C-alpha cells in the first residue's frame, strides 16, 4: 500500500506584521450616519492613545492568502488519520457548523430577555436531558467551557457537599497515576491536596491499594474510566464502595466517554459527579486547541451545589434561575460555550440511541484491531483487551537508538498525525493510539503498514527515523532554544 504522505506545493508566509504596508486596509469602514465627534474633546485628551504602533495594514487578498497558506501548514482531521490518544479526534460533521451559524442561534445576545431566548433554552434543556441519560446521573450543567473547567466545578461541588454536611476536614483527593494532568491541577485549584494512587501491574486500580489511602480526609477519588491505557477499570464498583465507605465521593473524568456510550453508565458504577468533553465524544471541532465544552453531570444529592444560573422548566416556559443558595457560584460569564454545546446536540440528534452505541462499538473494534496488528512489532505494556484506545511503547526500538519521539516524527512523513506520546506517564515511551469509530479498515491498514514499516526502518535504517520528518514545512524544532530565550511576540527590532 502506498502511504498517503506526499509533499505538495506550500508557500512561505511571513508574519502579518512583516507583510504590513502603510495605508492598506482589508475592509472599508464607512463613516456613520451621525456626525463624527472629536474624541479628545468627548472623552478627555488624557484618556486617548496614539494609534496602535506596528498594527497590521493589509489588503483583503493579503489576509486571505496569509491564513490560507498558514492553514496549509496544519494537519487536521479533515486532512488525514489523527489517532491522538485521549483526544478522540473523530470526524466533525459539517452540518453541525451550519446549525451553529443559524442567525437565530449565532446572533442571540446572552442578556436578551428570557422570553426572547426560549428556543435556545429549550435546546439546552434537551441536551442536558440527553447527557443525564447517557451518564446515568440526574442533573447537568452546560456552563463549564472545557473539561478542565468542568473538573474544577465538579470538585468544587464535592467540597460544597461535604461542607454542607458539616464535614469540613476532607482535604485530599485521590488520583490514579494514569490520570490526565488536569485532574491534579483542578484539585489544587480548589485548595485540595493530591494523593497519587498507584495502579497495579495489570494497568488498573485495585480496591486494596485504594483502601489503604482512604480515610476521613478523603474528599474524592478522581477516576478516568476507561483509564488512559484504554483499559476499563474492572474494579470500579468496588472502588466506589471503598471511597463511599470512607465518606468520600467519586468523580469521573469523562474524557474517554467514547468507550461507554450505550454500553455502560457512570451513574451505575457509583460515580457521583462527572464531566463530559463535548469536543471529544460529541464531535465538536477541536479548533487547534479549543473551544471545548465541559458539561458536568451530578447525582441529585449534589444538585443544590450546581453553578448558577440553572436552566429550569416551569410549565411551557424555560427560566435561567439564579436563586440557588447553596450553589458554588458562577464558573463562566454566561451559560458556557453555547455555540459548541449546540453542535453536540446536533450530533446526538443525528445519531440517536442506536447510532451512539455503534460509535462506541466501532471505536473499540478499531482500537483493538490496531493493537492486535502491531503487538508483534511494538511492545504493549499490558496483555489485556482495550476499549477505545491502546498504548504501545518504543521499548524494542529503543535498543536500536529510536525513540517514541522519532517514531512520531517519522509518521508525519508517511502522512499520519502521530499518536499522543509519552503519556500516560506510567508507561515509558508511550504511544497512545485512539483511532475513533470514524475510520475505515483501509485507513487503519494504511496506518498499521506505516507503523510496521517504521519498525523495520528502526532496524535497518534508523537514520531515516531519527532524522524525520522531512515532508512538513519545517524540520524538527529546537524546543530548548525557544524556552531558554523566549521570544513570545513580534517586535520591530528583535
Partner 1 sequence: MLARIGVESLDELFEAVPASLRSRAELKLPPALDERALLRFFAARAAENANVQSSASFLGGGAYHHFVPAAVDALASRGEFMTAYTPYQAEISQGTLQMIFEFQTLICQLTGLEVANASLYDGASAVAEAALMAARLTRRTRICVSAGLHPHWREVLRTYGEGVGLALETLPLDASGRTVLEGVGGDCAAVVVQSPNFLGCVEDLGAAAKAAHAVGALAIAATAEALSLALLKSPGELGFDIACGDAQSFGLPLSFGGPYAGFLAAREKHVRQLPGRLIGESVDSSGERAFVMTLTTREQHIRREKATSNICTNQGLCALRVTIWLALVGRRGIRRMAEINVALAAYARRALTRAGLRLPYSAPVFNEFVVEVPRLAAKLERCRGLGIQPGVPLERFGAEHADRLLVCTTEMTARAQIDALVRELAA
Complex with partner 1: residue 60 or 208, whichever CB lies closer: 60
Dihedral (CA of 475, 480, 485, 486) sign? positive
Q: At its nearest, how many Å lie between partner 1 and the CB of residue 379?
A: 18
Instruction: Report in angstroms how near the CB of residue 211 gets to partner 1 at its nearest.
Output: 19
User: Minimal distance in Å, beta carbon 207 to partner 1?
Assistant: 13
Q: 206 or 279, CB closer to partner 1? A: 279
Q: What grid cell was written down for 285? A: 471541532
State the nearest-atom distance from the C-beta of 300 to partner 1, in Å.
18
Residue placing its CB nearer to partner 1 in the complex, 246 or 259: 259
Which residue number, 36 or 460, has a Cβ lying nearer to partner 1?
36
Identify which of residues 207 and 459 has a Cβ nearer to partner 1 in the complex: 207
Closest CA to 230 of 199, 207, 269: 199
Please, are residues 233 and 202 in contact by the beta-carbon 8 Å criterion? no
Contact 255, 224 (CB under 8 A): yes
Shortest separation between residue 245's beta carbon and partner 1, angstroms: 18
Q: Is 312 left (phi over 0), alpha (psi -120 to 50) or beta?
A: beta
Residue 220 host element (H or E): strand 218-224
Helices 338-374 and 441-460, axial angle in degrees (round to 10): 60
In the complex, what is the shortest distance from the CB of residue 242 to partner 1, in angstroms, rounded to a whole number? 16
Closest by alpha carbon to 275, among 240, 300, 244, 250? Answer: 250
Give the Cβ contact number of residue 239 at 10 Å: 28
Residue whose CB is less far from partner 1, 215 or 237: 237
Whether residue 332 contacts residue 149, with contact meaning beta carbons closer than 8 Å, is answered with: yes
3-state secondary structure of 240: helix
Question: Are the beta carbons of 490 and 17 closer than 8 angstroms?
Answer: yes
Q: Residues for the chain: how many in total?
A: 494
Residue 35, CB half-sphere, CA atoms under 13 Å: how many? 3
Helix (H, G, I), strand (E, B) or coil at 309: coil
Secondary structure of residue 194 in the 3-state scheme: strand
Query: At its nearest, how many Å lie between partner 1 and the CB of residue 434?
Result: 12
Give how far Cα 169 sits from Cα of 50, 172, 269, 401, Å. Answer: 55, 9, 26, 51
Minimum distance from residue 30 beta carbon to partner 1 (Å): 9
Rounded least distance, CB 170 to partner 1, Å: 14
**In whole angstroms, how close is the CB of 400 to partner 1 at the nearest point?**
21
What residues have CB less than 8 Å from 379, skipping those under 6 apart? 392, 393, 394, 395, 396
Amino acid at each position: 500500500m502506498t502511504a498517503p504522505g506526499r509533499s505538495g506545493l506550500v508557500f512561505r508566509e511571513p508574519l502579518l506584521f512583516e507583510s504590513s504596508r502603510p495605508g492598506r486596509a482589508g475592509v472599508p469602514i464607512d463613516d456613520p450616519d451621525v456626525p463624527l465627534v472629536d474624541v479628545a474633546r468627548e472623552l478627555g485628551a488624557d484618556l486617548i492613545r496614539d494609534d496602535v504602533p506596528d498594527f497590521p495594514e493589509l489588503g483583503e487578498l493579503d489576509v486571505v492568502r496569509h491564513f490560507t497558506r498558514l492553514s496549509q501548514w496544519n494537519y487536521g482531521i479533515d486532512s488525514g488519520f489523527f489517532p491522538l490518544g485521549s483526544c478522540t479526534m473523530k470526524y466533525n460533521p459539517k452540518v453541525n457548523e451550519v446549525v451553529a451559524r443559524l442567525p437565530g442561534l449565532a446572533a442571540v445576545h446572552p442578556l436578551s430577555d428570557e422570553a426572547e431566548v426560549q428556543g435556545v433554552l429549550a435546546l439546552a434543556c434537551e441536551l442536558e436531558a440527553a447527557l443525564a441519560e447517557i451518564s446515568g446521573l440526574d442533573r447537568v450543567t452546560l456552563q463549564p467551557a472545557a473539561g478542565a473547567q468542568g473538573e474544577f466545578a465538579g470538585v468544587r461541588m464535592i467540597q460544597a457537599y461535604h461542607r454542607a454536611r458539616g464535614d469540613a476536614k476532607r482535604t485530599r483527593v485521590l488520583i490514579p497515576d494514569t490520570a490526565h494532568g488536569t485532574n491534579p491541577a483542578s484539585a489544587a485549584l480548589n485548595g485540595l491536596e493530591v494523593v497519587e494512587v498507584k495502579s497495579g501491574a495489570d494497568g488498573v486500580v485495585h480496591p486494596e491499594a485504594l483502601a489503604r489511602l482512604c480515610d476521613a480526609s478523603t474528599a474524592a477519588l478522581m477516576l478516568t474510566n476507561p483509564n488512559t491505557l484504554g483499559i476499563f477499570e474492572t474494579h470500579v464498583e468496588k472502588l466506589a464502595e471503598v471511597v463511599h465507605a470512607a465518606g468520600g465521593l467519586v468523580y469521573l473524568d469523562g474524557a474517554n466517554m467514547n468507550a461507554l456510550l450505550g454500553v455502560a453508565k457512570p451513574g451505575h458504577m457509583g460515580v457521583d459527579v462527572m464531566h463530559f468533553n463535548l469536543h471529544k465524544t460529541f464531535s465538536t471541532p477541536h479548533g487547534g486547541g479549543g473551544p471545548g465544552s465541559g458539561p458536568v453531570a451530578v447525582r441529585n444529592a449534589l444538585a443544590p451545589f450546581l453553578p448558577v444560573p440553572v436552566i429550569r422548566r416551569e410549565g411551557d416556559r424555560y427560566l435561567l434561575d439564579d436563586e440557588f443558595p447553596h450553589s458554588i457560584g458562577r464558573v463562566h460569564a454566561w451559560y458556557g460555550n453555547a455555540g459548541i454545546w449546540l453542535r453536540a446536540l446536533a450530533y446526538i440528534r443525528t445519531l440517536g440511541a442506536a447510532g451512539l452505541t455503534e460509535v462506541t462499538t466501532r471505536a473499540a473494534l478499531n482500537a483493538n484491531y490496531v493493537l492486535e496488528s502491531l503487538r508483534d512489532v511494538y511492545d504493549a505494556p499490558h496483555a489485556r483487551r482495550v476499549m477505545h484506545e491502546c498504548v504501545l511503547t518504543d521499548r524494542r526500538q529503543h535498543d536500536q537508538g529510536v525513540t517514541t519521539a522519532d517514531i512520531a516524527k517519522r509518521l508525519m512523513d508517511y502522512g499520519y498525525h502521530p499518536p499522543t506520546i509519552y503519556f500516560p506517564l506510567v508507561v515509558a515511551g508511550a504511544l497512545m493510539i485512539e483511532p475513533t469509530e470514524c475510520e475505515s479498515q483501509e485507513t487503519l491498514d494504511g496506518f498499521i503498514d506505516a507503523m510496521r514499516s517504521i519498525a523495520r526502518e528502526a532496524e535497518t535504517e534508523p537514520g531515516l527515523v531519527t532524522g524525520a520528518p522531512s515532508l512538513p514545512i519545517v524540520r524538527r524544532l529546537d524546543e530548548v532554544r525557544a524556552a531558554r530565550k523566549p521570544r513570545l511576540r513580534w517586535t520591530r527590532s528583535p
